[in-house]
Structures are given as C-alpha cells and as structure tokens.
Structure 1
Amino acid sequence: MSRSDKIDLEGLNADAAELAALGYKQEFKREFSAFSSFCVSFSVLGLLPSFASTMYYTTGYAGTPAMVWGWLIAMFFVQCVACGMAELCSSMPTSGGLYYAAASLAPKRWGPLAAWLTGWSNYFVQVTAAPSVAYSFSGMILSLIQIKNPNYTPENYQTFLLACAAMIAMTLISCLPTKVIAHFNTWGTAINMLFLSIVMITLLAVAGKNHTFNSNHRVWTSFDNQTDWSNGMALLMSFAGVIWTMSGYDSPFHLSEECSNASVAAPRAIVMTSAFGGLVGWLLNLIIAYTIVDVSQVMNDSLSQPYVVYLQQVCDHKTTVALTAITIVCSFMMGQGCMVAASRVTYSYARDGVFPFSNILAHVDLRTKTPNRCTWMNTVVGILLLLLIFAGDVAINAIFSVGAIAAFVAFTIPIFIRITCVSDAEFQRGPFHLGRFSKPIGYASCAFVVLMLPILCFPQTKGKNLDAEGMNWTCVVYGGPMLAIIIWWILSAHKWFKGPCLTETSSASPEVILEGVSNYDDEASLSTTTTKKK
C-alpha cells in the first residue's frame, strides 16, 4: 500500500473513521460498550480469585500491614499507571494498544524497537495470565478433595491435567461470537461481584461469631515477616500480589476496536477498573487482615493453598467448602476473560507480522468475527507453560511474578516515551486526558516501576538459606525469553520489522489525517515520531 492510496471515509461511523485515521480498517463488530468493556477487564481482574492466587505474596511476605496500608501505597502508583494508559488509549484506541502507542510516540529511529519490546513484553503478560489462573483453579479444586480426604495428596499430573481442561474450556467459550462473549463476561462480572460480596459478608459474620477480631495494633503495625529480609523490603516484595491482581485494567485498550465510542468508553473502563478494583480489593484485604488467626500457619500448611487454609481458620467445614467453591467459579470466569484479552493482543501482533507464521494467525473467523486461531495458539503456549508444574511450586509460581514484571514493562514504556520524547504540543490528546497532571503522573508511574522491577526478582530467602528450590526464577522465566527476543532483533528482526502495519490510509477529511508516517513500504508499516490528527 503506497501513501497515495486513499479511502473515502464518508459513510463510516465515527469509530471506524477514527480507526481508519490511525491506519486500520474495521474488522471486528463493535458490540462492546463502556460497561461491557469494564466487565471484561473486571473479570480479568477477578479480585476474589486473584487474591486467593496471590495470598502467598500479599499476606505471606509481610503479614497484615502489607494487606492494609501496603495495598494503599501500591494502589496509588498502580492508579497512576492506569491513568497514563487511559490517556494513551483515548488518543489511539486500537487493539494493539500500548504496542501501537510505543511505535507512534517514539523517535523515528527507535519506534520499531520500542514497539518490538513493548509488544513482546505485553504478549508475555497475556499468555501467562490464563495458565496462572488455571493453575490456581485446579489447586483449589484439588484442595477440596484434600479437605474431604486428608490422606489424599494431589499428584503433579493431576494438577496439570485439570488445569489443561480448564484452559480448553475457557478457549471454547472465547471462540464464540463477540456478542455472546460480551454477554458472558457481563454475567461473569455480575457473578464475580455477587460472590465477592457473599464472601466478604460471610467472613465478617462468621469470624465475628467464632472469635474476636484482631486489634488495630496487630493489623496495622505488627509485621509477620516470612522472609529473610527487613520489614521494609518484605513490604515492597508483597506488592507483587497487588501488581499481578491489578494488571487486568489494560483489557479495554485491547478491546477498543470492538467498542462503541472507543476513545471515550475504553479509557473510562480502564480507570473504572483500576479505581473500583483497588478500592474493593482493599476492603477485602481489610476484612481478611482483621479476621486471620495465624499468618504463619496459613503460609506453611501442608495443604499449600493459603486462601483455603485461612477459610478453615475462620469458618466451619461447610462454609469453607462453599466459599472455596464460589471462588473457583470466579476463577474460571477470570481465566476466560484473560483468554479473550490475550487473543485480541495476539491478533493485533500477528496482523503486523510479529510472530512466525503471522499470515496464518492473522485471521478473523467469518462466522464469529473473533480471532480463533490466535486463541488456540495461546492455549497451546499456556499448556506448555503449565509443564512448569512438574518442576516444583517455585517454578510454576514464577508465572505470577513474570506477569507482574512483564505488565509493568509493557505498560510504562509508552508512558515513559510520552513524557520524555513528546511535548504537550505534539501529543494529540483524545477526549480523555490528564491535562497538566499528565507528566507528573507519568513520572510517578515510571519511578515506581524502576523501583519494583528488581524487587520482584528477589527470592524470599537469602544467604545460607537460599538454594535452588527457594530461588526466585522470575528473572529466568521472563529474562530468558526477553533476551532471546532482543537477540532476534539484533540478528534479524531489525531488518524487516518496522512497527505496526497499517491496513488503511486516509485523507478524505482534514479531521482524520494520519501524519508523520514514514517507512511506507508494500506492507504499509508504521514508524512515526508522533501520531497526529489535524
């Protein structure tokens, strides 16, 4: 496609015209609203199953202080990242999301590399999300069997097969038509909220009946440090649970090509997800902090499911089983939402030739209007990741911290480029923007990420207590593939990858012109300094 190729935008609705101005033709049905986009992202957030999956970090590292004021500190900076992302989403509402923003905002020379690193890091977030949820899902199901039969010990292959079955079920649902998926996630969010409310109310009622609540002094100031590090370092390490739990707020960005009034609805859904999820998540943590009996027992019980052990401490047998069961249902809903978001990210990258065999993957099913091939590819990769189960608990748990690190890297690269390389005059704001607070919020986001990236790689133990089994393998599980991606760039990809590949150009209206575009070749690749709409 040459730059002289034009399309007539007359007859296109506002969303299709805006997408054409960004260089893409409309390929999905726009059947998501701001609320249904929020529903998908809230399903991906999955506060109840996310907390159950990451209680090892949020509670186990520093005890109850990490759950109350530690959560608030982490959430302030997470909200900064979410607001910066929402501003970019309003300006460039494409399914490529942060990957497209990094390419279009970076200086011409560095645009393709910025897109390459952002895209692959974001892909690692997406592709590890569903298997990590499936692993937690299978662990909670097997823990119910252990509760009923204390002599039963789950085998690794049982956990693996159950997690694989969950992945396949999530995939089948994610391959349904867009409208069905939107309705499914809307109901899933309603169920998530209902079940979360039931759990919170039940814990308050049952815990208050069975034993006294913990004192304010114990909850807010008494560290129960399960690491070999100082209390301050343990508190920072506990942020891994918050970061992983809250990483789903980027989903509306990736669904923006399926959302009506995307430049307004999608950023609103991002901010709503982060703010509402952060507040409700803090209330859940507050309840558990005031009702937990023994943090050390919760973390070290042979059941290896801290959330279920906590329920056993405060509830009777039937209540424990019931609350675990509804958490399992929420976990499945969460995993399915992760699968949907991941498929859209994968499709946008395949459309731009990032993956091997991208020409095969970049396909939208004519009947369902969904990228089913990308969905199944992610399922295969996720099942391969689940093989880490056979390497032990530490290895498989690395996919949680990998998701946190990969998310932070992908989320902040375009924000960093925005605040350092693009002036306010050059940046074309969308309807949602941060005004004069854009750069201060961006700097706060980047500073927090720089602080947290090495901390997320710290092991729980140190010195003579540290061995291969207790090592934090995050740097290997994330750093290894990223190193391979960088080597691939140096040896080959820099020669052919020029950034997002545009499928349309337009100049029919001065309101919708994509300027600053260079490197237009036969595939219409995008390598820009800034995306502007005059």
Structure 2
Amino acid sequence: MDPSIPRSPPLAYSPSRSEPTPPPEYEPSVSFNSYNEAVSFVQMYSPCTTMHSVELVKPRQSFLESLKRALAPLQAIAAAITVSSVMSGIVPLTQQELASGGPVMMVFGFAFAGLMAFTIALSLADISSGFPNVKGGLIEYSRRLAPPHLKRISSWVVGWLHFSAFVTGVTECAFSLALFATSAIEIATGVMPPRWVTVLIHVAVSIAFGFINAFKINIDMLSVAWHFAGPIVVLITIAASNKDPPSISWVFTHFENQTGFHNTLYVVLLGLVQGAFTMTGYDAPIHTAYNMPNAAWQVPQGIICGFLVSFFMGEVLILTLLFGIKGQDLASILNPVVTGNGVIEIFVHLISRAGTSCILVIFIGTLFFCGQGILKAVSEIGHELATKGAFPRSEYLAQVGPQGQPARVGWLCVGISSFTGMLYLGNTTLLGAMSSALAIEMNLVYTIPVALRLVYPNPSSFQPGPFSLGRFREPIAMVATWWSVTGTIIFSIPGVYPITPENMNYASVLLLATLGFILGYWYYSARHWFGLSAELDLNRKRISSAIELEQLGHAYSARYSVASKGDPGYDTELDEIENWLDNLERDLYRMK
C-alpha cells in the first residue's frame, strides 16, 4: 500500500472475529528493532496522520544528505522569514503610509504593530509546541481546542479562511511582482507597457510558483539569503548616493496627514496598516515543518526566531527608505511622476535609471520567493481540506506526488491566482482591496485557536510542550485576541476622504462575501458531512486491499464500537486515540 495515503479506521466496520484485538496500550518505552518497523507500526495504527512526510533513515548518507539533515532545524525559520517577507509588505505600502502619518508613523507604527503581533506569535508557538507532528496546522489546532459542539465548524471556518487568505497572498505577490516588472520596463525604455503585459507576467509567475511546488524544489535557504542581502544592498545604495539626507528629528518626529480626515486618532489607526499587514505569515512553520524531528521545539523556534528576524529587518528597511528621501522632499514621494510608486521615486532621485532597475530586481526577487513560500504553505492547508472532503473532487485533489508534495492542490491555487489576476484587465480597484482582505482573514485565522485556548481551557485536550508561556499564557492571549479584533477594524475603514468608488476600501465587502460563502456552504451542505466521517469516506475509496482494511478494523473496532458518531462519548474517545497517537509519533520522530 502506498505510504502516502492518509489512513483512518472505518467507524462502521464490523470485524468477523467475536473478540477483536484493540491496539496495544501506548508505553513511552515501546521498542522497535528498526525505524522501518516503527513506521510500519504507525501506518497500521494511525487514523489521523499522513505518513508521506516520513523519511527513512539510510545506513549511509552522502555529504549532501548529511548537510541537508544538519540544516533541517533552520528550515522552520526559513519558512517564517520567506512567508513574512517584510520587504514585500513594506515597499508596496510605503506611499500610503507616508500619507497616513508620515515618517513618525512608519517607524513607531511598525514597532507598535510588531509588538502586538508578537503576542499572537507567542500564543501560536505555545499551542504548536503542545501539538507536535500534527498535520493540518491551525485547522487541526482549532478542532482539538474547541468544545465538542464547536469542533467541526471551527476547523471548517479556520481552514477555509486560511486557504482563502493564502491564495490571496499568492495572487498579491504575483501581481505586485508584475507591477514592479512593468515599472522596470518603463524606467528602462520610457514606454509604459499595457495592462495585458502585466497580466501575462502575473500568470507566468503564478505558473512558475506551481512548477517549483510540484517538483518540490527547496529554495528556502536561497530565499533567506535574498531577504538578508536585499535590504543590505538597498542600505548601501542609499547611504552612498544620498548627499542630502533628512535630519534625524524629521525621520522620528514628522507627522503627515494627507488622508482628508481631520481626526488625528483616526489617522494614527490608518498609520498602523503597514505594520499590521507586514507582520503576518509567521505561522508558516506550523504547516511546512510539522514533520521535523523534535517539532515540539523546532516549530515554536521557527515562529519566534522568524518573527524577530523579520521585525528587525523591517525596521532597518523602513529607516533606510526614510533616510533615502532626498532633502526631506516628501511631496515628490507622495506624488510620484515616473512610475506612480513612491519607493521607486526615491531611487530615481538618487541614482540613475539603470541603477533603479537593478534595485527593482531585488524587489521582484523578494516577491517571487515570498509568493512561492506562500504557495508551499497553502498547498499543505488545501491538502488537509481535501482529505476531509471540503472541495469538489476532493479525492483527486488529495492525491500527492512521489515525494509527498500536494501538487494538485498547488495547481488549483495557481489557477485561482491566474484567473484573479485577469480581472485587472477590467478593474483596477479589486486587486488593491485584496491586500486588506488578506490581512483581515489572517487575523481571524490566528484569533480562533488562540481564543479557543483562552475561553475553553481543557487540560485533557492540550498538554503544554517544551515551549510554554506558563502563567503568562492567558494575559498574552488576551492581548493577542484584542489586537486581532483591532486589526480587523483597521483594515476595514476607509483610508481617504472624501470617499469615492475609486478610493473606497472594499476589503470589508470581500470579507463579507468570503464569510458568506464559508458559512453558507457549511449550513446548506458541509454541516451534514464535514469532519472525520468525510475523511473516512474519502480514505475508504483509496484503500485497495481488503486485508489491510480488515486489519485496521480489528485494531480499532473495540474502541469505536463503544460510542458511535453523535454519542456523548464519541469525541472523548477520539481525543484519547489522538493523544495516544501523538505520543507514539513523538517517540517515532525522536528515533530519527
């Protein structure tokens, strides 16, 4: 049987034996003669996990294999840095930020938003440490942390919101890359390419993301190197070329308001958008590094270290761009004449057009790595939804490639991204609103598991791991929840007055449409089948051997025959089995 197939025991299966043999009670000291024997054991008894991510340890390893294994702990940090990609968030929003508070809000607004987002990162790291080697990420976290009557709907909402947000992220990265590419063409040739060229670049980049994901090409370390080298090159370029830099007091104290709103507090809220939007995506290790050895420590470390590195790089980049404004001429940056982008205008004033084109290559590369990293994460999220039957043709989408990569879900995301990019041919405001909708959805996705852990503390469903916040868990979770709600409001309010159809913030409209689809789909269809039973029905179709089906039935029928779906003891027994398997898999990965 293909080890890439997720296995689940048939709930309704009645074994031929009169006295079925239950699975052995888990003991931490359970011993195996070999790692392969342990893998076979988990494949036999695991109903909730997918073994395609398990790599067998070879007696002899080549130098490259040894190097890859040595660098494995850095993969989680690399994933967080790639998906957060502060340059991809800061550069496109700089012009908007300068009009909504000026330099002082760019510096301190980013710092405040980063501090608040850090509480969310800490809370997610705490939860991930208690659920090591759990496939499904925040979807599964939400299901396990919720009370019995909310388990299915919480995982459904989190799964679809997360999938929608990350697909939007892929689209945003590809589209922003296309805009910077056309700007580079305009600077180099003096001719502005038509819209169809932008759309063509967008589609080509999306397809490139898909190929990298389908062939499981690991470019995480190259991405980290690019994310470090890019801001350094920008810093050196500005430091060497700006002979008339702004004063320190101007950078740290100047407040600018060109929004049309006269309420200072309202403008300050608008000034938090850049930081709140940029400091997201640090949950990537939860989805891409859950199968690492010692995941109970490596995943939280990836979240925290990736967040701190991204935050530091973001502040450095912001200060670099602000000190690059020649002669404190903020008006020319807010009203750019070359390409319509304020950051590009900064470099046009400092260096030649050829040099500006080279700087744009740095921005383009950053967006490319970010988009590919997001596609990698959303493929795992989409695969988890597919194994639960959430999509039409889920059985087809749930199949994985020879190396365990969920390529088919990745191509689905590429198709959605390409189609959405084509809307630019007829509407230029929709794609602009998607960035705010993305940030709102991510805030909601982070809030649900954190709030569930806060409101429904259940020691039987969650045991703290090696990374634990201890007594600070509740106050940090309260601040994290408050900030998520505040962020949702910030991204929904209009940014310019007077409000017109052209400058209206359509993020709230997109969010309501997304929530309407998710909740409507749940009420009219998914509530009748989504959950474990849907996953079992899917997996039954994929089990080709009647003998293996009988073995799984004999192993688990004793436990599942006590309570059927809908009975009070059903969720309790399921949680007991999951805890048993979590302990088993934790020891299994330690054997590697």
> In structure 2, which of residues 467, 473, 490 is the aligned counterpart of residue 455 of structure 1?
490
Q: In the alignment, is residue 342 of structure 1 matched against residue 378 of structure 2?
A: yes
Kindly state the Cα deviation for residue 425 of structure 1 after the two structures are TM-superposed: 7.2
How many Å apart are 1:479 and its aligned residue? 1.8
Specify every segment of 5 or more residues in structure 2 that has no aligned partner in the other structure, as ranges.
1-8, 12-20, 56-68, 540-548, 584-592
Q: Distance in 1 between matches of 2:422 and 2:248?
A: 43
Deviation, structure 1 residue 517: 10
Alignment partner for residue 34 of structure 1, among 68, 73, 79?
A: 73
Partner of 1:351: 387
Instruction: Tell me what 1:106 maps to.
Output: 146
- In the TM superposition, residue 525 of structure 1 has moved relative to its aligned partner by 9.3
Can you give the 5+ residue segments of structure 1 that lack an aligned partner in the other structure? none
- In structure 2, the CA distance between the partners of 1:317 and 1:432, relative to structure 1 (3 Å rule), is same
- 1:46-445 alignment runs, 5 A limit: 46-93=85-132, 94-150=134-190, 152-177=191-216, 180-181=217-218, 184-207=219-242, 210-216=243-249, 218-229=250-261, 230-292=263-325, 293-302=328-337, 303-366=339-402, 368-423=403-458, 427-445=462-480
TM-score by length of 2: 0.80
Q: Which amino acid aligns with 2:348?
A: Q
Amino acid at match of 1:192: H
Contact 2:128 2:286 in 1 (8 A): yes
1:185 to 1:490, Cα distance in 2 relative to 1, 3 A: same
CA distance in 2 between counterparts of 1:491 and 1:254 reads: 29
Compared CA separation, residues 135 and 88, structure 1 to 2 (3 A): same
Query: Which residue number corresponds to residue 484 of structure 1?
Result: 517
For the residues of structure 1 that align with 2:145 and 2:119, how far apart are their CA atoms? Answer: 19
Residues 401 and 474 in structure 1, CA contact (< 8 A), matched pair in contact too: yes
Distance change in 2, residues 1:266/1:115 (3 Å) = same
The CA deviation at 1:142 is 0.9
Which shows bigger deviation, 474-483 or 240-249? Answer: 240-249
CA contact (8 A) 1:106 1:529 kept: no
Further displaced range: 472-481 or 70-79: 472-481
How far off is 1:427 after superposition? 2.8
| Structure 1 pair 528–223 and aligned structure 2 pair: CA distance change class (3 A) | farther
Match of 2:499 in 1: 466
Q: Equivalent pairs: percent with the same residue?
A: 23
| Equivalent residue number for residue 23 of structure 1 | 48
Distance (whole Å) between structure 2 residues aligned to residue 268 and residue 434 of structure 1: 13
Shift of 1:423: 4.5
Answer whether contact 1:104 1:528 (CA < 8 A) is retained: no
Distance 1:271 1:343, change over 3 A: same
1:459 and 1:471 in contact (8 A); partners too: yes
Residues 124-149 of structure 1 show CA distances to partners (whole Å, capped at 9, x for unaligned) of 11111111011111111111122233
How has the CA–CA distance of structure 1 residues 497 and 131 changed in structure 2, closer, same or farther, with 3 Å as cutoff?
A: same
Q: Distance in 1 between matches of 2:38 and 2:418?
A: 36
Structure 2 CA distance, aligned partners of 1:175 and 1:36?
19
Do the aligned partners of 1:518 and 1:527 also contact (CA within 8 Å) in 2? no
Taking a change above 3 Å as real, the CA distance of residues 10 and 244 of structure 1, as seen in their structure-2 partners, is: farther
Matches of 2:395 and 2:425 in 1, distance apart?
Answer: 34
Between 198-207 and 287-296, the greater mean CA deviation after superposition? 287-296
Distance in 2 (CA, whole Å) between partners of 1:15 and 1:439 is 38
Report if the CA contact (8 A) 1:255-1:344 is conserved: yes
Q: Report if the CA contact (8 A) 1:501-1:525 is conserved.
A: no
Deviation, structure 1 residue 345 = 1.1
Greater mean deviation of Cα atoms: 239-248 or 398-407: 239-248
**CA–CA distance in structure 1, aligned partners of residues 564 and 299 of structure 2:** 28
| Distance across 1 between alignment mates of 2:459 and 2:246 | 51
Whether the aligned pair in 2 keeps the contact of 1:498 and 1:525 (CA below 8 Å) is no
Contact 1:498–1:527 (CA under 8 A) maintained in structure 2: no
Return the index of the structure with the highest Cα Rg: 2
TM-score w.r.t. the length of structure 1 is 0.88
Query: 1:44, 1:14 → 2: CA distance?
Result: 36
CA distance in 2, matches of 1:42, 1:14: 36
Tell me, in whole angstroms, the C-alpha distance in 1 between the residues paired with 2:157 and 2:526: 12
Q: For the residues of structure 2 that align with 1:385 and 1:456, how far apart are their CA atoms? A: 21
Q: Are residues 13 and 256 of structure 1, via their aligned partners in 2, closer, same or farther at CA, if it must alter by over 3 Å? A: farther
